[in-house]
C-alpha cells in the first residue's frame, strides 16, 4: 500500500523514519542498561559482601534512588550538561549520549539494589562453605554473581524495561530532535499533540511488543534458572 500513512501501514512498510526511531530507542536503552550493569552489579555485590561504616546509609540511598522520578534525573543531567553547567564543555546536551547518561543514572540504582539483595541472600547460604574453602574476596564475588546469574539477568531485563519505557529524562536532555534524538517514548509524548497520530500509534505498538518480549525473556530465564539450580 504505497502512501498508506496509517499506523499499521507505517509498520508494514518499514517506514524509515519509524525504524530510525525504534533503532535509536533500543540503542540508547541497551547502552544505558549495559553501562548500568557494569557499574551496578559489582557495586551491589560489593555492598552485599562488605561491612563498612555507612553501609546501611548506602543501602537506603540505593533503594531511594530507585524511586527518583525520571524527570528529576533528566533535570539534574540537564543542569550538569548545559552550556553553563560543570560538564557543559563536552557539548553533550541534546545528543543521544546525554540520553544514555541520564538513563544510566536511572537504571544503575535499580540494578545495584536488586543485585545487592540477590547476592546477599545467596551469600548467607554460601558463606560457610566458601569461607571454609578459603576462597579469596574477588573470587567470592565472581562465584556469587555467576551462581545468581539467572536472577541477575531478570534484574537486567527489569532495568532495560524501565529505560525503554521512560520518557521523562530523555525528553529533557535529548530534546526529541527529529532524526537525531527522537525516541519511541519522546515521539509518542510530543507527536501526539502535533497530530501525528499514526506515527505515535505505530510506535506504541512497537513498545508494547518490546515489553511483551522482555517479559517473555524474563520468564524463559527464570524457568531455565529453576531447571538448572533446582
Partner 1 sequence: MRGVTILDRLSLTVGAGAPTVLIGPNGAGKTTALRLMAGLMAPTSGRITWGGRPDVPARRAIMFQKPAMLRRSAGGNLRYALNAAGIPRRDYAGRIHELLALVGLDGLERRPARRLSGGEQQRLALARALAGDPAVLLLDEPTASLDPAATKTIEDVIRAVAAKGAKVVMSTHDLGQARRLGGDIVLLHRGRLLETGPAATFFTSPQTEAARIFLAGDLLV
Binding residues for partner 1 (CB under 8 A): 125-126, 128-129, 131-135, 143, 147-148, 227-230
d(CA 157, CA 159): 5
d(CA 209, CA 36): 23
- The CA-atom distances, in angstroms, between 72 and each of 75, 78, 79, 175 are 5, 10, 11, 15
Q: Which is nearer to partner 1, 140 or 162 (CB)?
A: 140
Q: Which is nearer to partner 1, 99 or 145 (CB)?
A: 145
Q: Which is nearer to partner 1, 1 or 227 (CB)?
A: 227
Rounded to the nearest whole angstrom, what is the least distance from the CB of residue 48 to partner 1 in the complex?
16
Q: Which is nearer to partner 1, 4 or 129 (CB)?
A: 129
Rounded to the nearest whole angstrom, what is the least distance from the CB of residue 230 to partner 1 in the complex?
3
Rounded to the nearest whole angstrom, what is the least distance from the CB of residue 151 to partner 1 in the complex?
10
Cα 186 from chain centre? 16
Rounded to the nearest whole angstrom, what is the least distance from the CB of residue 139 to partner 1 in the complex?
8
First-to-last C-alpha distance (Å) of the chain: 52
Cell of 121: 541472600
Rounded to the nearest whole angstrom, what is the least distance from the CB of residue 126 to partner 1 in the complex?
6
Neighbours of 122 (CB within 10 A): 18
Rounded to the nearest whole angstrom, what is the least distance from the CB of residue 69 to partner 1 in the complex?
36
Q: Which is nearer to partner 1, 56 or 128 (CB)?
A: 128
d(CA 157, CA 169): 19
Q: Which is nearer to partner 1, 5 or 117 (CB)?
A: 117
Amino acid at each position: 500500500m504505497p502512501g498508506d500513512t496509517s499506523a499499521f501501514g507505517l509498520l508494514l512498510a518499514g517506514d524509515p523514519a519509524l525504524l530510525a526511531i525504534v533503532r535509536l530507542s533500543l540503542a540508547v536503552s541497551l547502552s544505558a542498561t549495559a553501562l548500568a550493569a557494569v557499574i551496578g552489579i559489582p557495586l551491589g555485590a560489593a555492598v552485599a559482601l562488605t561491612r563498612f561504616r555507612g553501609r546501611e546509609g548506602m543501602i537506603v540511598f540505593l533503594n531511594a534512588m530507585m524511586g527518583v522520578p525520571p524527570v528529576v534525573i533528566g533535570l539534574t543531567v540537564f543542569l550538569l550538561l548545559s552550556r553553563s553547567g560543570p560538564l557543559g564543555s563536552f557539548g553533550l546536551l541534546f545528543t543521544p549520549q546525554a540520553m544514555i547518561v541520564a538513563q544510566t543514572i536511572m537504571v544503575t540504582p535499580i540494578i545495584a539494589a536488586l543485585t545487592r539483595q540477590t547476592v546477599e541472600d545467596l551469600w548467607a547460604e554460601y558463606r560457610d562453605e566458601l569461607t571454609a574453602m578459603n576462597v579469596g574476596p574477588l573470587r567470592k564475588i565472581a562465584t556469587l554473581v555467576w551462581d545468581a546469574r539467572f536472577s541477575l539477568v531478570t534484574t537486567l531485563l527489569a532495568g532495560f524495561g524501565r529505560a525503554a519505557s521512560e520518557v521523562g529524562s530523555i525528553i529533557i536532555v535529548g530534546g526529541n530532535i527529529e532524526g537525531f534524538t527522537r525516541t519511541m517514548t519522546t515521539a509518542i509524548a510530543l507527536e501526539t499533540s502535533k497530530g501525528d497520530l499514526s506515527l505515535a500509534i505505530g510506535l506504541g505498538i512497537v513498545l508494547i511488543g518490546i515489553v511483551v518480549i522482555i517479559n517473555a525473556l524474563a520468564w524463559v530465564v527464570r524457568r531455565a534458572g529453576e531447571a538448572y539450580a533446582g
